[in-house]
Amino acid sequence: MTIADGNGPASPPRLAVPIRISARADYATRACAELAADPAARVSGDQIAAAQNIPLKFLLNILTELGRGNIVRSHRGNSGGTS
């Protein structure tokens, strides 16, 4: 059975092949997951770094890139953070 039409022989099983991702991609994914846990909240870079064990300086660079790509928004001020 194929996925496309539901008829015919089954597709052969795919072999699990390990992939490598960069630390930047890993940290960006983890930061986005942390932000997605509470979409209405504004979370500081310090909070994300502590929760996900990510170096703060590296995280701040990643959040800047994500902001330029309109994936996250940063808010300035006392109640600021990233959302």
* Torsion, Cα of 43, 44, 48, 49 (10° steps): 180
Contact status, residue 43 vs residue 77, Cβ threshold 8 Å = no
Segment 19-58, tens digit of pLDDT: 899 999 999 999 999 999 988 889 999 999 999 999 999 9
Helix, strand or coil, per DSSP, at residue 14: coil
pTM: 0.74
Most confident range (mean pLDDT) of 4-18, 45-59, 67-81 is 45-59
pLDDT of the residue at 50: 95
Strand partners, 43: 82
